[in-house]
Amino acid sequence: MSTQAFPAYFMRGGTSNGLVIDRKHLPKDESKWQPILASVMGSPDSYGRQLDGMGSGISSTSKIMVVSRSTRDDADVDATFVQVGIKDGSLDMAGNCGNMSSAVGPFALDAGLVAMKASRDSRLRVRMFNTNTAKVIVSEFSVDERGKYDPLGDYAIDGVPGTASHIALSFLDPAGAKTGKALPTGNAVDELQLEDASTIRASLTDIANPGVFVLASDVGVPGNINPDALGAYSNIMRRLEMIRRAGARRMGMDENTQSVPKIILLSPPSAEEAAQGINIICRALSMGQAHKAVPLTLALNLGASCGIPGTLANLTAIITDGKSSVVIGHASGKLGVGSVVQDGKIESALLHRTSRILMKGEVSYRTGG
């Protein structure tokens, strides 16, 4: 066994962090990525800690973005999101990550994949084609007087301490990212038959990334449950995985793919939460773990779903009529997401993030047996 190394950035994107890599440093054949990318993240790791790599044992920090110049007319760069299995080292590229998408534009500028164009307001727009979902995302962010990404600013997001510069992400034509339709079954609510012969109501929606939405009360937990407490209920976690798998089957997706669809528990806000402007409460699961916040692509899905008549999100959210944005309460705070709808079509989904380059250099991986 030996080790090799290649250039990489370690970045925070929203409430996630991970490696961002120029595709030219990886084999052209994606089937050869697994041993390399698993090793750099410290997987497989039966202890679940990824101490021998750049990961830190939770799904939101076991992530990689692979970026390259695009040959498409409608994009500046191509971006492929990779979720690395912590214990087994598997690579899951079925869906995208909204948080790490916010790191792509700053990386592309810093790495020389895009050039700064003259702008009176010192903002740069980078169009990225996400290969996981075959959708275009537009990232707009600040640059300094040298034409470099400027991470400093006064914008704050829940789940990240301090402030940073604002990054606006527009997910263009987000409906049907994996299944081709916002409502893959054609129904606002489906009755799912589970492996234990029980049933549960669920809304199956595919906007930015597919999701399975159920009511927290139908699962038997409070809507504001702490993620650690939710994760400790092994029987409920098993049931939620059964629900996720049943939803995947109904949408015509591979139920064994952990990254999509994800499952979200919904509940209405309390009077105190409503006074803070929150329209709906959610608790999310990602890769079999209770999420500390909410996966951003699922937040986009949830926000847009609140405007689809008859969905559980639409029936649960409060005071959303006529609004183009929805405030979602999650385990780490709240998040505002927006959508632009014209003639019943979702033209774009909008969210706001921050990002920072934490380190750049070389990352090493093991080779051989």
Same-domain status, 332 and 294: yes
Say yes or no: 112 and 209 in one domain. no
pLDDT category at 115 given cuts 50, 70, 90 is confident
Asked, for residue 12, whether it belongs to a domain, the answer is yes
- Whether residue 309 lies inside any domain: the answer is yes
The answer as to whether 177 is a domain residue is no
Residue 366 has a pLDDT of: 93
φ, ψ of residue 65 in degrees (nearest 5): -115, 130
- Cβ neighbours of 28 (radius 10 Å): 7
Clarify whether residues 20 and 130 are in a common domain.
yes
The answer to whether residues 13 and 135 belong to one domain is: yes
Q: Is residue 148 part of a domain?
A: yes
| 116 and 221 share one domain | no
pLDDT of residue 37: 98
Position 369 confidence tier, pLDDT thresholds 50, 70, 90: low
Quick check: is 122 in a domain? yes
pLDDT reported for residue 119: 55
**Pair 9, 134 in one domain:** yes
Query: Per-residue pLDDT for 120 more than 60?
Result: no
**Phi first, then psi: what are they for 44, rounded to 5°?**
-75, 150
What is the pTM for the complete model shown? Answer: 0.89
Rounded average pLDDT over 164-172 = 97
Question: What pLDDT was estimated at residue 39?
Answer: 98
Same domain, 33 and 63: yes
Convert the pLDDT of each residue in 228-283 to its tens digit.
999 999 999 999 999 999 999 999 999 999 899 999 999 999 999 999 999 999 99
CATH code of the domain in which 40 resides:
3.10.310.10
* 58 Cβ contact partners less than 8 Å away, ≥ 6 residues apart: 86, 289, 292
Strand pairing class (333-342; 355-367): unpaired
Q: Are 20 and 60 members of one domain?
A: yes
196 and 302: one domain? yes
Q: 282 exposed, middle or buried (CB, 10 Å; 0-12, 13-18, 19+)?
A: buried
Is the same domain home to 100 and 195? no
Q: Interhelix angle for 296-305 vs 98-110, to 10°?
A: 120
Backbone phi, psi, residue 356, to 5°: -150, 140
% of the chain residues with pLDDT over 70: 98
The residues with which 10 forms a beta bridge, in sequence order, are: 19, 359
Whether 290 is in a domain gets the answer: yes
Find the domain containing 105 and state its range: 2-166+354-367
Number of domains making up the chain = 2
Q: Which residue in 358, 367, 310, 365 sits closest to 19, CA to CA?
A: 358
Instruction: Look at residue 117 and tell me whether its pLDDT is greater than 70.
Output: no
- How much of the chain, in percent, has pLDDT values that exceed 90? 91
The answer to whether residues 205 and 320 belong to one domain is: yes
Same domain, 337 and 358: no
Per-residue pLDDT tens digits for 43-55: 999 999 999 999 9
